[in-house]
Amino acid sequence: MSAHTLRRDRYREWLTAQGLRFGFDAEIADKATDVTDGVTNDTPPLELWHRILPTVKLAEALREEFGATTVNSATRAPKYNAAVGGEDASL
């Protein structure tokens, strides 16, 4: 198993431990495997993991109120962000 896959799996386990609903743990963690123009996204650094929680809680409320919603991206690695045309200050 690659180091990238191990990081993604640890991130998913951490997200699952946060008690997220609606499958957000897998949905967000799997964004770390997205590939654009040969550039693979990656799991955010461990010290930033907690920053996703307020956004996920909002997404959970929206999904609960309005039904199916789609997560198009969560955290993007800098090289991947550039590959998808993201803003320079965006991560």
Q: Over the stretch 32-72, which tens digit does the pLDDT of each residue have?
A: 889 999 999 999 999 999 999 999 999 999 999 999 887 77
Phi, psi of 36 (to 5 degrees): -135, 130
pLDDT of residue 91: 56
Contact 40, 33 (CB under 8 A): yes
Contact 16, 25 (CB under 8 A): yes
pTM for this one?
A: 0.83
Distance spanning both ends of the chain, measured CA to CA: 26
| Cα–Cα–Cα angle for 48, 13, 51, rounded to 5 degrees | 20
Amino acid identity, position 91? L
Q: What would you report as the CA-atom Rg of the chain, rounded to the nearest whole angstrom?
A: 13
